[in-house]
Structure 1
Amino acid sequence: MRKASGPTPSTVSASNLAAAAAAQRAPARHIDAVQFQAEYVRHQAERPGESPWETLADSELMHEVRLGLEQLLATRPAHPVAALATFLKERQAQRHETALQKAVIGGQQRLALEAKREAAAASATAT
């Protein structure tokens, strides 16, 4: 009886297969406003009535999972599922913090612009 060639089910884990598949995919691309608008119009034409936000959220989630799997491959933690969950929570917290920082900066810029406009209006009326 000949021995089967290739990996056996006991040597190939599901996480290794998922990580290998994720590594083969192209890296996630950032979508600018024009690309997003084109994707939105295309999505509405292909699937009327279905929300494109669900598709976008799914792709963002898959990108995060892919990053987590790459980290798992690099670190080989003792508890990979817990490590992936922790990684995803940390990424979510980072995104939330970044969004807050952008909102604060945007608010500061708006206040500075309003102050500049008021100063220009005051100097125009003074002359």
Structure 2
Amino acid sequence: MNNTIEEATDGPDRRSLAGSKDKTARTVIDKLVGDIVKSVNPLQIILFGSAARGDAGEYSDIDLLVVMPEGVHRRRTAQKLYREITGLGVPFDIIVATPQDLEKYKDNRGLIYKSALKEGIEIYGH
């Protein structure tokens, strides 16, 4: 995860992710991250998938791995985010995990964590 958010969102292919000439992917991602931080105060947010790889197209979604503290109910956290985040104008997918989940499953090719950690770009962390 040595990339930056600018690398993930610069260029014409990434702008099409927003689905509108008025919104850039960067603006959409910034709003999404802001909404997530305000709602659940995550430890870290990682952008992955086509937006992180740089091959997002017009119909691509935004894939985010939201890392929460141990003990947080992952499914309820994801449900809360999907209920509260509106008005983006672009589809998004949120995966909620804990640091323990990531450590335990980071090498499991059958789970999304491995590719998210390999290709992902940290766009929020404290």
Between Structure 1 and Structure 2, the one with more strand by share is: 2
Q: Which has the larger radius of gyration?
A: 1
Highest relative contact order (Cα 8 Å, sep 6+), 1 or 2?
Answer: 2
TM-score, L = length of structure 2: 0.22
More helix, by proportion: 1
Q: TM-score by structure 1 length?
A: 0.22
